[in-house]
Structure 1
Amino acid sequence: MSFIHPDHWEGVKFNWRNLKSAHKKIVQELCNFDGKGYQWWEFRYTTKQLPGGEYKTAGLLLNIQDIKDREEELEAARLLAEKAELKQSFLANMSHEIRTPLNSIVGFANILALEDGLSSAEREEYISTINKNSELLLKLINDILELSRIESGYMSFSFKRCKVRELIDDIYMTHQVLIAPHLEFLKEVDDTPLEINVDRERLIQVLTNFLNNAGKFTETGYIKLGYSYLPDEGKVQIYVEDTGRGIPREEQRMIFSRFYKQNEFSQGAGLGLSICQVIIEKLGGKIELKSEVGKGSRFTVILPCRVVS
């Protein structure tokens, strides 16, 4: 045991206790046999029962440090290639998303400047289109800058303790006038008084994004905002649930990808959920999604919490 790295002791002890059942075993351990530092070694061994009832273990000990070094180099090269591919894809998507509203702005601005025979109604429609695309372009640029700031660590998070019930009440009150009147807006709360340590405004930003998306894709039924305590995990789940169109299973893995949009013809750059995921990770939590086509979706934020009196 003195030759083996302390982090591997438990595994070695387990294998030793189960040596009699090791018919064919291959394990890799960090060992320091010469006092010059730890290297990777591979133990290959088998155990057989002899006619007299005793057990005999025989095996081979191989130095695989060179193989491990090559694996690390290959993994580093793979990650580098993956980052380059993601960057190229990101720039291509960004170029497309910026060009679409920009072309609309330039096109309608030229019509307004060059066409003298436009009616008052046509002018108002073209001006409205220019304004909408200007807002869309500004939001896209702001989203890209925000995502970049968060991931690079330049965006600071102000962590403070806040009561979950008060947070949900505030968000619910704000959105009561924003949710479409034909949809039922529900609130569901837990009786346990809970407190979380988060950047309150950033968490509100995430939940607002969930509520806005629910409003876009729900035509009938309800939208529900709520939370419940998970005592076994010491966490709280805060969720937005709707009875909207739902998300196909094959698309659920892509829903948080940058520039992904469930409806390619809808406005927006598809960066909202990607930003939400980065924010929640920075807050020490995670996002879960449950959805069924035709029945609705439920986006859940899971965060560490504590019970307060």
Structure 2
Amino acid sequence: MVKAQETLKETTQLFSKNTELRIKRTTNLLEIETNYYIETGEFDKALDVFQQAFEKLSQNGFITPTLYRTRGSIYTAKKDYQKAIESYEKAFELSDSLNSAQEDIAVGEFATILGMEHLNLENKELIQKNQEIQLETRRYIIILLCIIVVIVGIMFFRETRLNKVLRRAKDAEQSASRMKTEFIQNMSHEIRTPLNSIVGFSQILSSKISEEDEESKEYTTIIEQGSNHLLQLVDDVLELSSLDSGTTIPIDTKSELNELCLQWMERAKRLVKPGVVLSYQPEQNELYLYTNPARLGQVVLQLLHNAAKFTEEGGITLSWRILPKQKQIMICITDTGIGIPQDKQEFVFERFAKLDTFSKGTGLGLALSRLIMERMGGNLALDAQYMDGCRFILTLPI
């Protein structure tokens, strides 16, 4: 305990000297002090320090059942059983409310699953009805053929040959239909069919709603945008899966870099907010290289889209220069936006990673962009030294 006290004093001195610690981690120090005083039996000091931590956490809305239990244990040690009981009751009430909230979330998720199952069931019923109609049609054809064979005996040989051809065509049609059905069901039936139905019906609803009914128009627009968002998510996941499986990206197309950059800048103009300056800074007037223009453009446009999304004022710059020693070319997208914290600069490249959970997007753009660059023999990273916004750096072998 003597060594613990010495360490606690040293820590307290560090907190007094470091403003960032004092602002962000004060409650952690107070909790450690509380535990120390509980271990040494100084329960009055423990209660005083705990109250300071409790008040700070209350201001930030971080009160948990554990805090009330800790306060209850301190009052128990002091033999103030009435206050101990009150603290434990508070802990139980908060635990119950948290459990109730978790149950509500679970019920909502279950309802969503049931909704998807209902859509799948309806789609299967439609497929089954269509197959029944086709079967009924084929039965009528067979009956008609039989009547023709009976009536036109002279044409027996010709009809026999015709029936053989029809049977082969029927078998081929059934085989092709079965293969096509299996492929569609396996690849897109479970996800794309329901979503496409939602998009289609939302468009129909939107076309039938009068212009005066703005609220209904807004609802159908939200449905359509959400469905398109989910379809984009499916496409991104399928592309990630394809690249994960080892799909190669050819880089054998000779291209002039300035021409590509100007095309990307032209497409990015409509994304930039009013008042934000979009500029291009090449190192030289002409540079030919072998690359994959489509894939490289996909990555650069994704980064320009992100820069435009988070830049309210200032500028966005696309630039490039050659690194002779490394035999690489470095392309930079620099903005004066909100920036990314130092401790999150690798997190943003993880799949489904989003710093703001309420912002639009799937959280797959940067992960997919880095994977594409790796498949092209390059890399995508953030410049940790740039502090006025964000600077993404693409490196490619020349």
Distance 1:176 1:268, change over 3 A: closer
Q: How far off its partner does 1:288 sit? A: 2.2
Q: How far off its partner does 1:138 sit? A: 0.8
Deviations 1:181-221 (A, max 9, x none): 32100110012643332211000000000001001111110
Q: How far off its partner does 1:176 sit? A: 2.5
Distance 1:227 1:156, change over 3 A: closer
Matched with 2:265 is 172
Matched with 1:23 is none
Matched with 1:147 is 240
Helix, strand or coil at the partner of 2:237: helix
Q: Is the 8 A contact 1:219 1:244 kept in 2?
A: yes
Q: How far off its partner does 1:246 sit? A: 0.5
1-structure distance, mates of 2:223, 2:271: 24
The residue type equivalent to 1:300 in the other structure is: I
Q: Is the 8 A contact 2:352 2:364 kept in 1?
A: yes
Matched with 1:261 is 354
1-structure distance, mates of 2:372, 2:288: 19
The residue type equivalent to 1:146 in the other structure is: E
2-structure distance, mates of 1:223, 1:188: 11
1:233 paired to 2:357: no
Q: Where do 5+ consecutive residues of structure 1 fail to align?
A: 1-95, 113-118
The residue type equivalent to 1:196 in the other structure is: L
Distance 1:123 1:297, change over 3 A: same
Q: How far off its partner does 1:155 sit? A: 6.1
Helix, strand or coil at the partner of 1:255: helix
1:242 paired to 2:335: yes
Matched with 1:194 is 287
Q: Is the 8 A contact 2:258 2:285 kept in 1?
A: no
Q: Which residue of 281, 296, 300 corresponds with 2:374?
A: 281
The residue type equivalent to 2:244 in the other structure is: E
Q: Would you tell me which structure has more strand in proportion to its own residues?
A: 1
Deviations 1:147-198 (A, max 9, x none): 1111113465463121222211221122223322321001100126433322
Matched with 1:33 is none
Deviations 1:15-55 (A, max 9, x none): xxxxxxxxxxxxxxxxxxxxxxxxxxxxxxxxxxxxxxxxx
Deviations 1:51-99 (A, max 9, x none): xxxxxxxxxxxxxxxxxxxxxxxxxxxxxxxxxxxxxxxxxxxxx9xx7
User: What is the aligned residue count?
Assistant: 200
Matched with 2:231 is 138
1-structure distance, mates of 2:377, 2:358: 34
Matched with 1:299 is 392
Q: How far off its partner does 1:241 sit? A: 0.5
Give the TM-score normalised by structure 2: 0.46
Distance 1:130 1:268, change over 3 A: same
Distance 1:281 1:154, change over 3 A: closer
Q: Which residue of 192, 198, 208 corresponds with 2:301?
A: 208
Q: Where do 5+ consecutive residues of structure 2 fail to align?
A: 1-108, 117-194, 206-211
1-structure distance, mates of 2:241, 2:381: 23
1:160 paired to 2:253: yes
Q: How far off its partner does 1:124 sit? A: 0.5
Q: How far off its partner does 1:134 sit? A: 1.0
2-structure distance, mates of 1:197, 1:179: 30
Q: Is the 8 A contact 2:257 2:289 kept in 1?
A: yes
Q: Would you tell me which structure has more helix in proportion to its own residues?
A: 2
Query: 202-211 or 290-299: which moved more?
Result: 290-299
Matched with 1:39 is none
Q: Is the 8 A contact 1:247 1:291 kept in 2?
A: no
Query: 260-269 or 286-295: which moved more?
Result: 286-295
Query: 1:92-111 maps to which residues of 2 (within 5 A)?
Result: none
Q: Which residue of 221, 229, 234 corresponds with 1:128?
A: 221
2-structure distance, mates of 1:188, 1:246: 21
Q: How far off its partner does 1:223 sit? A: 0.6
1:221 paired to 2:314: yes
2-structure distance, mates of 1:233, 1:193: 20
1:290 paired to 2:383: yes
The residue type equivalent to 1:131 in the other structure is: E
1-structure distance, mates of 2:222, 2:393: 35
Structure whose CA Rg is larger: 2
Distance 1:177 1:268, change over 3 A: closer
Structure with more contact order per residue of length (Cα contacts < 8 Å, sep ≥ 6): 1
Matched with 1:185 is 278
Q: Is the 8 A contact 1:256 1:273 kept in 2?
A: yes
2-structure distance, mates of 1:177, 1:217: 14
Q: Is the 8 A contact 1:183 1:221 kept in 2?
A: yes
